Amino acid sequence: MSRNLFILGVFIAVSWGFTAQADTLIPAGPVSGTWAASGSPYLIQGEINVPSGQTLVIDPGVQVIFQGHYKFIVNGLLQAIGTEQDSILFTAADTSGGWGGIRFIYAQDSNQLMYCKILFGKGTGIYFMDFLGGGVYCRESNVSIFNCEFYRNKAHGGGGIFVDTSSTQINISDNLIFNNWTTQLGDYGGGIHVLHANPIISNNKVMNNYSYDGAGITLSYDSSLVTCNEIAYNYSTHGSGGLVCATGSCAYVVNNLIHENHAHYQGGGISFGNESNIHPIVRNNTIINNIAQYYPAQGGGIFVSLPHQIEISNCIVYGNIPDQVYCYGSGVPILSYSNIQGGYPGTGNINADPLFVSGPGGDYYLSQTAAGQIQQSPCVNAGDPASPMVDGTTRTDQAPDLGIVDMGYHYNTTVPPPPPPPVDIAMTPLNPPIVIPLHGGSFSFNVLLTVTADTSVVFSAWTMQRLPNQFWQGPMVGPANLELPAGAVVGRIRIQNVPSTALPGTYNYVGYTGLYDSVKWDSSYFTYEKTVTTGDGPIVSDWLCTGDPFPGESQGSPTPLLPSGLTLKAFPNPFNPATAISLQLTAYSYVRLRVYDTAGREVRTLVDGWREAGSHEVAFDASALPSGIYFARLTAGEFTAVEKLVLLK
């Protein structure tokens, strides 16, 4: 079972309520001195600035609430230093209109943002210093940004942070940069965008950001150090889902975990631009389960464009779709001492299952007998013998990496164990090993849910399966929306059909608890095989899962879902005012895609007609609808899928 708490929705729920204290009204104009918690919240009534030669100190616990779309310009010195227990909040009273973000423009040395929450910033205007950088914009300013949270910020570039033309030191470390986006076609850098600067970007979680290109991080004309970051679940509508080293980038990309990012066309995980006179260094990264989806999909893991000299070593590139490394034109990386699924020419390269295991920091540690596992990962001690050691560990027991460097990402050895999930799940197959014959069959398994929280919990439970071609299918069970009391233990025995049309090979059958389908608290899985060997018995024609129902679950008719990379998916979600709904058809089908409100009333028909097999995308504009929860329901022949949509205005 994985105990990697999926934090992307958890931090949001803690403290956005504005506690009523002594309101302090701040009119437009210069600000300096100290803003203490006793005067919080500070209600900003116009554009404010810290003048050159002046200092503003903001104490822990202060809430800064902009009453309109006003900028916070810093030419002097800003010291906004909260604590882990008492952070500083920057937000807008009207979250749909937002505020103008914090703009460090030729500011003094030693500006600091520490333990700040920066929410709903919006870069707009006709000048680049206004429309770049939704949460924070830096130009020729020495700024340190530590332990901050950037959420729902947006701009034409750098939805969360834009670093622009800065020769001074900028340090962006230990931040959560989540669900930020760019606003127009052709924009780059949903989370972070760097242009003509050399910041340190380290130990951040850059997740669920959205952009036309470079959805997680975009680097241009830079020599940035990008290290020890987790870059995951970012989504681009063109290329470069996770990270792009664009034109002129000579970045050092070392020891990052880049996973589950999505690009429409090229570079699901990481992309490199088209200049031949620069030499990015890419070392000890794990690039896994990223996807480039639509034709001509290229470089699910790594995409290299035109003549580009890149040194890639000690990396694990595995499980990406449709391929691991794609070189366009004459761009050929120097790739060595790496584990590349399917193989790749180069000194020390291997092609083997990395044997990932879950540990205190996440799901991509390496299996090692010294740490108590049964098997030894082929990536252990398999890096370049001449490479420097990486601070951190690939071992679940947190022992540091010694000897020859291991391939792949190294977790921080000081990472505290995440809190236990409020609901455990354990899935156990009955009568293993499971082998399904050619004509199809079924298998039985037990699902055990255990509430570990000390209060009742509202949650979802569901199962998915990963097909032999690495696409995901499901939910196979649920999602069952449950409320269980503290200490409850619920067990169910289920029977899963596997039809004769199922692909032969190995399936991973995975159960989850969390908030379907974006927040995953815990998981458990087992494997089964579908063979090409003929067996006795009737032909099975569906994916029906029956057995003991969960409360509120209906059974009795097969509901096969679209077996595809994304099934039915909307992004962004939550959204305002529009979202893109993606679907993939396995055959030429009559498709109906409709949106319903929570009362079951149809509010929009998006598709009603025949569609070719393959991937499709439909825009849903909800400008005329009120905020709330909606459901997109897809039917395509015998297939059905439902996606929950959250409209936030």
pLDDT tens per residue, range 185-226: 878 889 999 998 899 999 999 999 999 888 999 998 888 899
pLDDT of residue 91: 96
323, 304 contact by CB (below 8 A): no
Is the predicted pLDDT of residue 415 greater than 60, yes or no?
no
pLDDT confidence band for 73 (50 / 70 / 90): very high
Please give the pLDDT value at position 293. Answer: 81
Task: Determine the pLDDT at residue 149.
Answer: 96
For residue 128, what is the enclosing H or E element? helix 128-131
Helix (H) or strand (E) holding 131: helix 128-131
The arithmetic mean of pLDDT across residues 447-463, rounded, is 88
User: How remote is the C-alpha of 49 from its chain's centroid?
Assistant: 34
To which residue do tokens 């595995």 refer? 318
Q: What is the CA radius of gyration of the chain?
A: 25
- Two structure tokens written together for 15: 């403290």
Q: Which two tokens stand for residue 515?
A: 């908030």
Higher pLDDT among residues 55 and 439, named by residue: 55
Higher pLDDT, 253 or 641: 253
For residue 421, give the DSSP letter: P
CATH of the domain spanning 569-647: 2.60.40.3080
**Lowest-confidence segment of 317-326, 541-550, 631-640 by average pLDDT:** 631-640
Confidence of residue 261 (pLDDT cuts 50, 70, 90): very high
**Which residue type is seen at 1?**
M
Same fold, 423-547 and 569-647: yes
508 contacts: CB under 8 Å, gap ≥ 6:
465, 466, 525, 526, 527
Least confident of 85-99, 313-327, 357-371, 468-482: 468-482
Angstrom CA distances, 9 to 93, 169, 178, 475, 532, stand at 21, 32, 9, 21, 43
d(CA 217, CA 240): 9
pLDDT surpassing 80 at residue 554: no
Alpha-carbon separation of residue 228 from 125, 192, 410 (angstroms): 34, 15, 8
Which among 439, 445, 489 is positioned nearest to 465, based on CA atoms?
445
Does residue 151 carry a pLDDT above 90?
yes
Average pLDDT over residues 424-435: 91
Does the pLDDT at position 37 exceed 90?
Answer: yes
**And the tokens for 386?**
């001449």
pLDDT at position 203 is 95
Instruction: Give the mean model confidence (pLDDT) for residues 591-611.
Output: 80
pLDDT of residue 9: 39
454 Cβ contact list (under 8 Å, min separation 6): 486
Separation of CA 571 from chain center:
12
> What's the one-letter identity of residue 446?
N
Average pLDDT, the chain: 85
Distance between CA atoms of residues 220 and 223, nearest Å: 9
* DSSP state for residue 40 in the 8-state scheme: P
The pTM is what?
A: 0.66
> Which sequence spans correspond to the domains of the chain?
23-111, 423-547, 569-647
Report yes or no: 339 and 352 within 8 Å, Cβ to Cβ: yes
Of residues 64 and 551, the one with the higher pLDDT is: 64
> In terms of pLDDT, which residue wins out, 458 or 392?
392
CA distance 432 to 568: 32
What's the rounded Cα separation, in Å, for the pair 170 and 199?
A: 5
The CATH topology of domain 423-547 is: Immunoglobulin-like (2.60.40)
